[in-house]
Every structure is written in structure tokens, then in C-alpha cells.
Structure 1
Amino acid sequence: MHATSAATAGALTFLWLGMVLAISFLEAPLKFRAPGVTIPVGLGIGRLVFRALNLAEAALAVGVVVAVATGGPSAAVVTLTAVAAVVLAAQLGLVRPRLNRRSDAVLAGEDPAESRSRAHLYYVGLEIVKVLALLALGCLLQAV
């Protein structure tokens, strides 16, 4: 892979990885532990934060895909790039709409304990897969 493309893709990959780790695995669970943050307030904050994160992720994904595509990548780089992009697409297209419907219901007054949703578990599972793919991709790109 060309050095400039690899460096660009690597930088974007690690930026993407850092954002996901900071928001999904640090900010998201901690906000509900803050004093005075109710479930509706936490959900409202979370929706804003994740909307911004997902927009940034989409832009970073495009940048990584373009840098990888123009750099003469190895099969492993292409595979890891595809995994990260497909996982993000699944999160945005399949899981986020379910999470939004659930948070809409809670924000409308539904008791969150009445009906549990597995959508959060799917989102977290996909987030773990994406983190592992981004970490492996970034490391692979640094070795170029």
C-alpha cells in the first residue's frame, strides 16, 4: 500500500477508534451515574451525542475507504475496512432506528422497566466488533 494512503487511512482509523471508545464505552455508561441525571435526561443527551458521533463516524468511514481504495491495499486491509464500514452501516440502518423508537417511548412517558429492548445489546456487540476491526486495521496500516 502507498505510504501516504496508509498514513492517511491509519490516522483516520485511529481517530475513528478513539471517538468510538470515548463515547460508546466511556461517556455513554457514565452519564447515567451522574447525580441528577434521570433516564429521560440521559436518553436525550445520548441521542444528541450519538447523532453527532454517527455523523463523524460516517465521514471518517468515507475517508478511510477512499484512502484505502487509492492506496493499493492488501486483502487484509480491504477486509478490515469492509468489516468496519458494514458494521457501522448495520448500526445506523438496523439498530439505531430500533433504539430511537425505544427512546421515543421512554421520553413519551413509558416506564423503561416495563419492556426491555435487546437493541442496546446488539449495538454494543456491533460496537465491539467495530472496535476490534478498527484496532486491527490501524495496526496493519502502521506496519506499511
Structure 2
Amino acid sequence: MLQLIVLAAVPFIWFGMVAAISFLETPLKFRAPGITVALGVGIGRIVFKALNTIECLFAVVLVLALVADPHVVPVPAGVAIGVAVLALALQLVVLRPNMAQRTRLLADSATAAGGRTAADARNGGTGTLQGIDRTDVATVAANAGAKTATAPHLSYIAAEVVKFAALPVAGIAILLAAI
């Protein structure tokens, strides 16, 4: 019974965390007044490291629950869990190391530019913000890759979407099998 509860609950909790952090907190963070590129990137790195750590724990718990008694899990749920775990592995092993290097460069460039805000870097507008030329901000941010998403970043987002789709499928399939 405990195995069934874990198998049903963990995918929904994991799904909620991905939804809240990847699709809500992350895009909104850079819209906060006064947030600098360096600060936003720094917060993002800390938050995603914590999220990925918890996701790894969830993946281990789900895999152990599956291995303990595979007959409890319907095939669609097992496949969905496998897809989510593989998407996480892709993010951690292949994509995140590349993105970590890029975010370090972005944070370093933004700091060197005087800590301008992310909104100023995105806007690329002329004029000044506290005596700082906004055109410089846009140039530094663009050179660091702030205006264009890289292939690893887009792939990371795609993997998030895969997890976002797979996790509720797993939870629903397990609940339906338990009825």
C-alpha cells in the first residue's frame, strides 16, 4: 500500500515543482524591479541546483518503488516515469554543464558592465539609468548571450516540457490502476 501511495504521489509533487519553478518563477524573476542579470542568473543557478537535487531524489524513489514490485505499476506509468527520469538525466549530464558555463560568462559580463538590470539589457533602449548608458548594457548582455537562447537552453526547456507532460501521465495511470 505504501508503495502505491509513493508511486501515485511523487509524480504529482515532482510535476508541481517543475511547473512552479521552471514555468512560473524563472520567467517572472527577470521582471522584478531592480533585478540585475548577474543576480537573476545567480538565483537561477541556486534554485535549479536545488530543484535538480530534489528531482534526483524523486527519480531514485520512483525507480526503487518500481523495482520493488514492478507488477503494481501499469505499463503506461512505467514508461512515463522512465521518460521523466531520462529527461532529467539528459538535463543533468548533457545540458546543464554547458549551460553552467554560459551562465557564469553571462554573470561575469553583467557584473563587469556595472550590474545593470535585466530589463535594461532586454530593452536595449537608449538613455540612462542612474547615469549608466543603457546601450552598453544591451551590448554586454547580447555579447554574453542574454538575448538569444542557445541550443542547450532550448533543449533544457524541451526536456522540462517532456517531464511536465510525463509526470502527470504516470500519476494518473497509477491512480487509475489502483481503482
**Does 2:162 align with 1:126?**
no
The 2-side partners of 1:66 and 1:136 are apart by 19
- Conserved? CA contact 1:6–1:68, under 8 Å: no
Distance 1:82 1:10 in 2: 15
Secondary structure, counterpart of 2:54 in structure 1: helix
5 Å matches for 1:9-88? 9-71=7-69, 72=71, 73-88=73-88
Match of 1:113 in 2: 142
CA RMSD of aligned residues (A): 1.4
Specify the alignment match of 1:100 in structure 2.
100
Which of 1 and 2 has higher RCO (CA within 8 Å, sep 6+)? 1
State the AA in 2 paired with 1:60. F
Question: Any gaps of 5 or more consecutive residues in structure 2?
Answer: 111-139
State the distance in 2 between where 1:112 and 1:89 align: 30
TM-score (norm 1): 0.92
Q: Name the SS of the counterpart of 2:142 in structure 1.
A: coil
Range with greater deviation from structure 2 (99-108 or 63-72): 63-72
Q: Write the distance in 2 (CA, Å) between the matches of 1:54 and 1:113.
A: 28
CA distance in 2, matches of 1:92, 1:105: 19
> Deviation of residue 69 (structure 1)?
2.2
Q: Deviations over 1:45-104 (max 9, x none)?
A: 000000000000000111111112223223222211111100000000111111101001
Identity %, equivalent residues: 39
Give the conservation status (yes or no) of the 8 Å contact 2:74–2:173.
no
1:139 shift after superposition: 0.7
- Any conservation in 2 of the 1:99–1:120 contact (CA below 8 Å)? yes
3-state SS of 2:35 partner: coil
In the aligned structure 2, how far is the partner of 1:70 from the partner of 1:140? Answer: 18
Contact 2:8 2:175 in 1 (8 A): yes
Partner of 2:170: 137
SS of corresponding position for 1:68? helix
- Bigger radius of gyration: 2
Give the count of matched residue pairs. 142
